[in-house]
Chain A
């Protein structure tokens, strides 16, 4: 039960700590609590420190784009500590509630937005094994929880008692609800190419050279990646889709009446979400925590014990310190890729004018949804017909070091897995697709296939 709830990702760490520091064979509740807290604090820092960095970066990037310097004073030449100074200012600011506001909802709204953004990080793997909570349906979970952020915005807009805020909230609601459709469709494409909703598995599949990234799987995934990024920009409410806080029309939209620390919580949530959708894009399309050049594989191969290589996955054949090192490289890679995504969002923000609400809706319904649907069907056809792909996904390599049981293999779908003859697989899958009864004579294959799927997923 703990495994599925508290912190499976940390459970290896938990065992490590309890065995080496406290000398316990079986980790007890205190260890789990400790490791849960550690995981929570680490994730919190991704958002809090991330927001500090991104706000600074946004100013610096905006400054450079606009032919000026940006912050230069606080914290030395580059103004590193500008955000911190701002934070101090925001904390010291008077935190008032308008007379017409619905006070309880007004107070709680920023925390809802922040908590949603924070909770979505729960299931986001930063590298193989570096995940706060290993959710098997991580993609789904992240999208679902991220979608809850809009609650905070709507409550803020409603509870402020200001018409501008209400406008912002309504725009945000319409926008986010609409953009979840193409966003979900784009996310499903890598999911069925990989055959799993498990982000760790999807990430591990794309190990190796950059042509293994799912964005290069077929032309449709390539388009889907672009559509995903567009829709993600819209769903986290960034320019040119930042209608909820359109300052030229709505003063400041949903946070018109907010000030001080509560206001800054909205911003932490926004920057957290930006990082999150970028990280999700990296994992789903851009190779996750694997560098474009397989440095991590080379390191593993260099340290691998030749006797163990044949027995199982590469990671089991190397000293744990090397695994840890590779994990750190992976985390750095993923963070770098996500930062690139965030920087692109900033670049777009400081370049383009804002769209109008009907144009935002038209972009979603007239362009993003049909394109995503076509990509969905096209990519599915590509996968079903087994057309040539730039990817050489070797699914044998996939394993997750959070569970020993899964170290064997993950089974591919139609014909990708060389273990089974292609024709049998195709027969099986086509029959499944047609909804007909599986022939009894192929029972054994069905059993094998089904069990393996259940096992490896």
Chain B
């Protein structure tokens, strides 16, 4: 009769208790949309987590096989709806790759500005919502206050606040309006002092550290095995950023830019020094707490925070380059542009990781096959591995630190 539980992560209790199956979601406050997690718990301890997907499936890829590439741009907006600009960019680049279409210089810098601003906006949501997952409400609103300002800028550029369809194959739908660059500089100037506030409220907060440090530790091997990308991968100490490591067609967009991949240096145990002179000395960055282990929730969060700083750096450089660049913003391709026969695949570094689009054409103006490879899908798959043996309260902390967007997972 006696049995032995082999997995040492499943804890034997002194007091015998019964296990419970609990549905977390799809209508749950902290599952970031319509994610459904089935938890097998023993009291407060979670022994197994199984994510269930598909509540937001909209057949986006299938629709893409019935529309021309330009027509499908709005559907990419609705994938990672928190970073629509970056989704647009990924699709635009892959279509351009198939068409072998090259952009003018100015359009390249415009894309850097827009996509990095999109990264800031997306990380702000990730950061604020993570606070919400841990039970503090205020950082969420601070983050959204700043995000709203970015959305205002986007609205001025393209007229939309959520589903932009701004970056299209061939360039952008229009140039930045006059005065936009200065407004953007003003925004960055007032946004920079906000970053230490976020650090004080969250990163440095002792309760926050207690809730995140050492929780959901993912080794580099696990991260690679599960195909995690983006801040989740870099939080585990793997120096992989498609803006450096990606295809040339993508990395050439960042040619001439100075920025760092945010990853912990395995020797010094430090992150790239964010004390840059252009930020002044008033930025007070937190030390890595003693409790934190590389690859835990705290590191994933911190990587996002530092990436915001790098994105600001990039935007500032891009604004200068944009002003002095030659050429125009790039004309969008025709709505019914014939695609050459063949296939193309390109990955870009979206805020949540590697966003790849795959396009097969039979020579028609409508693609024969469209496929999106989303980062969150792989990032989420690691949940059940990370959550095993944690406490119930750690599940939102871990899922939140993966920063998933269901629109991108289900497509």
Contact = CB atoms under 8 A, between A and B. Distances in A.
B205 A249 contact: no
B205 A358 contact: no
Contacts of B394: 356
Given A66-B137, A353-B131, A356-B211, 19 more contacts: A62-B138, A66-B141, A67-B141, A68-B141, A170-B43, A171-B44, A240-B135, A247-B135, A248-B30, A249-B396, A350-B137, A351-B138, A353-B136, A353-B211, A356-B391, A358-B44, A358-B391, A359-B207, A359-B211
Contacts of B396: 248-249
Contacts of B113: none
A356 B30 CA distance: 15
Contacts of A240: 135, 207
A65 B201 CA distance: 12
A127 interface: no
A246 interface: yes
A37 interface: no
A163 B135 CA distance: 20
14 contacts: A65-B138, A67-B141, A67-B142, A68-B141, A167-B392, A247-B135, A248-B30, A251-B29, A350-B136, A350-B137, A354-B134, A354-B135, A358-B391, A359-B207
Contacts of B30: 247-249
Contacts of B141: 66-68
B134 A353 contact: yes
A239 interface: yes
Interface in A159-214: 163-164, 167, 170-171
Nearest to A62: B137
Contacts of A239: 135
A355 interface: yes
A66 B131 CA distance: 13
A353 B394 CA distance: 13
Contacts of B142: 66-67
Interface of B: 20, 22, 28-30, 43-44, 131-138, 141-142, 145, 201-202, 205, 207-208, 210-211, 391-396
Those 8 A-B pairs whose CB atoms lie nearest each other, nearest first: A354-B135, A353-B134, A248-B30, A66-B141, A353-B136, A356-B393, A353-B207, A248-B396
A83 B366 CA distance: 57
A249 B393 CA distance: 6
Interface string A43-68: 00000000000000000001001111
Nearest to B43: A170
B24 to A, nearest CB: 8
Interface string A217-234: 000000000000000000
Nearest to B25: A251
A62 B391 CA distance: 29
Nearest to A63: B141
Contacts of B20: 163
B277 to A, nearest CB: 30
Contact of A248 (B22, B134, B205, B210): B134
Contacts of A242: 135
B133 A248 contact: yes
A164 B44 CA distance: 11
Contacts of B201: 351
Contact of A357 (B132, B202, B207, B393): B393
A333 to B, nearest CB: 31
A378 B17 CA distance: 41
A29 interface: no
A151 to B, nearest CB: 21
A352 interface: yes
Contacts of B135: 239-240, 242, 246-248, 353-354
B205 A359 contact: no
A65 B211 CA distance: 23
Contacts of A358: 44, 391
Given A353-B208, A356-B393, A66 B29 contact: no
Interface residues of A, number: 30
Contacts of A350: 136-138
A257 to B, nearest CB: 14
B195 to A, nearest CB: 16
Nearest to B206: A352
A351 to B, nearest CB: 7
B125 to A, nearest CB: 16
A259 to B, nearest CB: 16
B138 A66 contact: yes
Contacts of B391: 356-358
Contacts of A359: 207, 210-211
Contact of A163 (B22, B44, B134, B136): B22
Contacts of B137: 62, 66, 350
Contact of B210 (A67, A171, A251, A355): A355
Contacts of A355: 207, 210-211
Contacts of B210: 355-356, 359
Contacts of B395: 249
B44 A357 contact: yes
Interface string A138-176: 000000000000000000000000011001001100000
Interface in A333-358: 350-358
Given A249-B392, A249-B393, A357-B44, A352 B132 contact: no
The interface centre, meaning the residue of A350, A352, A356 with most chain B CB atoms within 10 A of its CB, is A356
Contacts of B202: 353
Given A67-B142, A239-B135, A248 B29 contact: yes
Contacts of A248: 29-30, 132-135, 396
B197 to A, nearest CB: 11
A356 B213 CA distance: 12
Contacts of A246: 135, 393
Contacts of B44: 167, 171, 357-358
B138 A247 contact: no
A62 B208 CA distance: 20
A134 B210 CA distance: 45
A352 B393 contact: no
Interface centre among A167, A239, A353, A354 (most CB of B within 10 A): A353
B29 A247 contact: yes
Contacts of A351: 136, 138, 201
A338 B201 CA distance: 27
B28 to A, nearest CB: 6
Contacts of A353: 131, 134-136, 202, 205, 207-208, 211
B127 to A, nearest CB: 13
Nearest to A354: B135
Contacts of A249: 30, 392-393, 395-396
Interface string A350-372: 11111111110000000000000
B159 to A, nearest CB: 26
Interface in A64-109: 65-68
B190 to A, nearest CB: 13
A246 B136 CA distance: 11
Interface in A105-145: none
Contacts of B208: 353
A357 to B, nearest CB: 6
Contacts of B133: 248
Nearest to B135: A354
A253 B136 CA distance: 16
A68 B137 CA distance: 13
